[in-house]
Structure 1
Amino acid sequence: MKILLQAATIYSPQSQHHLQKRNILVQDGIITYIGSETQEADETIATEGLCVSAGWVDMYAFVGEPGLEYKEDLYTIAAAAAAGGFTEVVCLPNVEPVVQTKGAVNYVRSMSQQLPVSLLPAAAITVDAHGKDLTEMIDLHQAGAVAFTDGTKPLQGADVLLKALQYVQLFDGLLMNKPEHTRLTEHGQMHEGEASTRLGMKGIPSLAEEVMVTRDLQLLAYTGGRMHFSLLSTAAAIEAVRRAKAEGLHVTCDVASYQAAFTDEDITPFDTNYKVAPPFRSETDVAAIKQGLQDGTIDALVSAHLPHDTEAKRLEFDLADFGIINLETSFAVANTSLKDVLTTEQLVEKFASGPRQVLRLPEPLITEGEVANLTLFNPNIAWTPTEAATKSKSKNSPFLGQELKGRVIGTIHKGQVVLNQSF
């Protein structure tokens, strides 16, 4: 089948056509022509403002399968990811049972072969993600785990982290950790500040993130290896990573694409769809996130997609689970909240090149003769996500019914074309 992308602006620094408007012909999953001439095709995608880049990669998403399919399964997460422009998604290991065996890694990889999205399994660092005994990481790496993380469970023990950093150096593996001192965040509901005091809710202090980042960086300096921080949210934590990079440590980090969309002062009080971990922080923290994205301290933007069923969210605020869905809105939310900070080229880099560099995945080239791994989007279209149109099984999002700017048109990956219905 021949697919023609007509007059598409190409965002691909490795391509000779970077930032140029070209016609792109994809035949049976291969890019066969890039140029200004019109080509015959079975289907033509032609829309004003069409842009194309290498397929986007999400480094932090909850799948649900096996064991928690009522929240999300492999098929619905693939549909949501493709609708959001992602062609590859790193799946957290926090399912039932935890992804900690070769069989579990192989299950995710094999099940995703026929899907339009490549699901990349991350394996647990510790058995059952309990933070105590290390998993068989060498075996898991050989089976195809792209990284090691306890996912939504922050690793607490310094001794365990130290051993894990030493262990993954045997195969140059990547350790990912969500920095949070859980004793300091216990019973916390939102960012600790004036807003939490005014609302009478126990706060989650910035210190809980910052002390763990400092500790982890000290351990990294001691052991060596590669370390990635997931979901940073505070100014001091970002500054610590900036200094560590300048000192030559092999450290990278990401932030949730929604983290700059709100501060603790402008979330809707007691609406559990604004309850995320780490929480929406202060204006100072949001400014630091923007600066970190600009200067390259922050390597990637992630969806932090964490679906929950109605029973887990439609509760009193202090009883509801943390997390929101964001695969479908990840780009639009970032494009809307960061429009005064990042150019479209810089924003795409945080979704496409940045994650691949962290994970050491090959960069898809937009060149004739290459396999098509493409995201199609328009950064200028305004749209409103709705519950009815959401591909995810869960509907826990503060962005439903809110106008956003920047729309994914579709993806081309594994020879499969997925287009959002409005296009």
Structure 2
Amino acid sequence: MSTLLKNATIIDASSPYHLQKKDILISNGIIEKIADSIENDQNNTLVELENLHVSCGWFDTSVCFGEPGFEERETIKNGLQVAAKSGFTAVAVNANTHPVIDSKSAVEYLINKAKNAAVKLYPIAALTQNSDGKELAELYDMQQSGAIAFADYNKPITNDNLMKVALLYAQNFDGLVFSFPKNNSIAGEGIANEGINSTKLGLKGNPALAEHIQIASHLFLLEYTGGKLHIPTISTAKSVDLIKDAKKKGLQVTCSVAVHHLVLTDDELNEFDSNFKTNPPLRTKEDIKALQKGVKTGIIDIITSDHNPIDIEHKKVEFSEAKDGVIGLESAFGALNSVLDLQDFITCLTSKPRSIFGIENTSIKEGNNVDITLFNPDENYTFKMENILSTSKNSPFTNKKLKGKVYGIFANNQLIIN
């Protein structure tokens, strides 16, 4: 079966067709031909969509699906379908399941559950046993089984010597270690950014200092040990500066930012809506400006949805009692495209994350396997509940005006269109 994409604007800096409008013929999962005009004389499946743009398939490096253990929040099957319809051809799945993904068999379970899906699933295995921060998990065995990195999702490593050992040990097999940017003793029981809004609303503050101290501490460890360190979902201006300075020193450090931290501030907390309760917390306008600049200048390597479905029983409660976390796959592109230029952020969803996680990069060229995202960057709309495909509905973007709609993906020889 062959598929013909008509009048597609190609967004791929590694392709000779970058920023050109072309027809693309795909046969058996391979890009057979790219030309100004291709006649549909073989009764191919025809894809003609308004203002069609295509890029290399997007990769979300921080996704939670719940399964095993929290299937009421999201299953792997539905989660992968949501990812596909949200434009992602690959996702890295966090270990915050029950049981935690901290063994060879658990890693293999995730991979097998996603077998033959259009979206490729890559497990991020737990860094420590049961993600309790006490003993390292079997990192090498899990990497051999398919884990692409090691992280205790949204949990900081409080034992600095454990982090030092992890960085040293992982170098033996080129492993990537995560450090969640939060110092628990400074953050305390804080649930909102420490500042004017937390004071006004009577919410316990989580100061930006808690993030800065953890990042600075583990950058010192990285400088001592060598190895590769990834700092996920940074949220402050100072964090960008710390990572910028570390990169200047030549340290192998990378970082990501969540979509909601590029778009939303702690001003959203005025209604005590727990769908805005995140970890790290939403910060200030000044932080957003610095994070957006960090993306544009390349200091921030990756943008993630940090998709974390939470069931209604743990969200529709008092703000202080609600679980942290938001869903973000469905709204990721529309939110990003509302505040950043397309070419500024597209590499943070495509080539950069793949390079950091040691995954082969694709390119839109004749003869290559097709792994592409289809979208319209110019359509404005209001994000509604009916746009949410996830089992859990904890989105901070409901009723927000977004720009750009995803049509779907073509990956693993499967075309999925909304």
Q: Which string of whole-angstrom CA distances, capped at 9 and with x for unpartnered residues, describes residues 163-194 of structure 1?
A: 00001000111111211012222321211000
Deviation at 1:383, TM superposition (A): 2.5
Task: Determine the C-alpha separation between the residues in 2 that align with 1:105 and 1:161.
Answer: 22
Task: Determine the C-alpha separation between the residues in 2 that align with 1:67 and 1:284.
Answer: 39
Structure 2 equivalent of residue 358 of structure 1: 356
Structure 2 equivalent of residue 8 of structure 1: 8
Structure 2 equivalent of residue 130 of structure 1: 132
Residue of structure 1 aligned with 2:158, choices 156, 159, 168 = 156
Secondary structure of 1:289's partner?
helix
Task: Determine the C-alpha separation between the residues in 2 that align with 1:49 and 1:248.
Answer: 42
Task: Determine the C-alpha separation between the residues in 1 that align with 2:147 and 2:133.
Answer: 19
Residue of structure 1 aligned with 2:367, choices 366, 369, 372 = 369
- Amino acid across the alignment from 1:127: Q
Structure 1 equivalent of residue 96 of structure 2: 94
User: Does the Cα contact within 8 Å between 1:151 and 1:177 map onto a contact in 2?
Assistant: no
Task: Determine the C-alpha separation between the residues in 2 that align with 1:72 and 1:119.
Answer: 15
Structure 1 equivalent of residue 215 of structure 2: 213
The gaps in structure 2 that reach 5 residues or longer are: none
Structure 1 equivalent of residue 25 of structure 2: 25
Secondary structure of 1:169's partner?
helix
Structure 1 equivalent of residue 394 of structure 2: 396
Aligned-pair identity in percent equals 39
Task: Determine the C-alpha separation between the residues in 2 that align with 1:186 and 1:404.
Answer: 35
Task: Determine the C-alpha separation between the residues in 2 that align with 1:286 and 1:299.
Answer: 16
**Does 1:317 pair with 2:315?**
no
Residue of structure 1 aligned with 2:50, choices 39, 48, 51 = 48
Structure 2 equivalent of residue 235 of structure 1: 237
Correspondence 1:133-282 to 2 at 5 A: 133-282=135-284
TM-score where L is the length of structure 1: 0.96
Task: Determine the C-alpha separation between the residues in 2 that align with 1:115 and 1:59.
Answer: 17
User: Does the Cα contact within 8 Å between 1:93 and 1:100 map onto a contact in 2?
Assistant: yes
Secondary structure of 1:121's partner?
strand
User: Does the Cα contact within 8 Å between 2:231 and 2:254 map onto a contact in 1?
Assistant: yes
Task: Determine the C-alpha separation between the residues in 1 that align with 2:163 and 2:157.
Answer: 7
Task: Determine the C-alpha separation between the residues in 2 that align with 1:285 and 1:400.
Answer: 23
Secondary structure of 1:152's partner?
coil
Task: Determine the C-alpha separation between the residues in 2 that align with 1:387 and 1:284.
Answer: 30
Deviation at 1:258, TM superposition (A): 1.5
Deviation at 1:159, TM superposition (A): 0.8
Correspondence 1:56-67 to 2 at 5 A: 56-67=58-69
Correspondence 1:276-355 to 2 at 5 A: 276-338=278-340, 343-355=341-353
Task: Determine the C-alpha separation between the residues in 2 that align with 1:150 and 1:107.
Answer: 18
Deviation at 1:39, TM superposition (A): 3.1
Q: How many residues align?
A: 416
The gaps in structure 1 that reach 5 residues or longer are: none
Task: Determine the C-alpha separation between the residues in 2 that align with 1:266 and 1:111.
Answer: 37
Deviation at 1:16, TM superposition (A): 0.8
Q: Which string of whole-angstrom CA distances, capped at 9 and with x for unpartnered residues, describes residues 314-334 of structure 1?
A: 001101111110011111111
Task: Determine the C-alpha separation between the residues in 1 that align with 2:232 and 2:32.
Answer: 38
User: Does the Cα contact within 8 Å between 1:79 and 1:392 map onto a contact in 2?
Assistant: no
Deviation at 1:38, TM superposition (A): 2.2
Which stretch shows the higher mean deviation, 54-63 or 34-43? 34-43
- Amino acid across the alignment from 2:363: L
Task: Determine the C-alpha separation between the residues in 2 that align with 1:256 and 1:336.
Answer: 15
Q: Which string of whole-angstrom CA distances, capped at 9 and with x for unpartnered residues, describes residues 251-291 of structure 1?
A: 00000011121211244430111111111111221111011
Deviation at 1:337, TM superposition (A): 2.6
Deviation at 1:93, TM superposition (A): 0.7
Which stretch shows the higher mean deviation, 105-114 or 381-390? 381-390
- Amino acid across the alignment from 1:39: E
Q: Which string of whole-angstrom CA distances, capped at 9 and with x for unpartnered residues, describes residues 77-107 of structure 1?
A: 1011111111100000110111111111111
Q: Which string of whole-angstrom CA distances, capped at 9 and with x for unpartnered residues, describes residues 314-372 of structure 1?
A: 0011011111100111111111133xxxx312221111112112112111121111110
Residue of structure 2 aligned with 1:381, choices 373, 379, 382 = 379
